[in-house]
Amino acid sequence: MAVEDLTEFESRLLKWISQSDFKKVAWSTPRAAKAFDVDEEEVYDALASLTEKVPHQIYIHYRNGSIRIVANSP
């Protein structure tokens, strides 16, 4: 799959993640849901979808009790 296969929300979320500095301001699913006016479940679904559709552009892992996310712009 490729960037062209992303939904509008997935594309916007990937761009937002790639422009964010989660070292300064930690990732927050509730904050992301509020920013995009969706529920948290939709954010988690989109993140999971991004890891399948564009695995070389997003990296998600869990460390020290927090989700860590890094992405490259499409």
Whole-angstrom distance, CA of residue 6 vs CA of residue 12:
9
How much of the chain, in percent, has pLDDT values that exceed 90? 61
Residue type (1 letter), 55: P
Residue 69 clears pLDDT 70, i.e. is over it: yes
Q: Report the percent of the chain where pLDDT is more than 70.
A: 96
> Over the chain, what is the mean pLDDT?
90
- The CA-based dihedral angle spanning residues 38, 40, 42, 44, taken in that order and rounded to the nearest 10 degrees: 150
Strand pairing class (58-63; 66-71): antiparallel
**Residue-wise pLDDT tens digits, 33-52:** 999 999 999 999 999 999 99
The distance from CA 1 to its chain's CA centroid, rounded to whole angstroms, is: 17
Q: For each of the domains in the chain, give its residue range(s) and CATH number, in order of start.
A: 3-71 (1.10.10)
* Angle ∠(14,19,20) on CA atoms, nearest 5: 100
pTM of the entire structure? 0.86
pLDDT digits (tens, 9 = 90+) for 21-35: 887 888 999 999 999
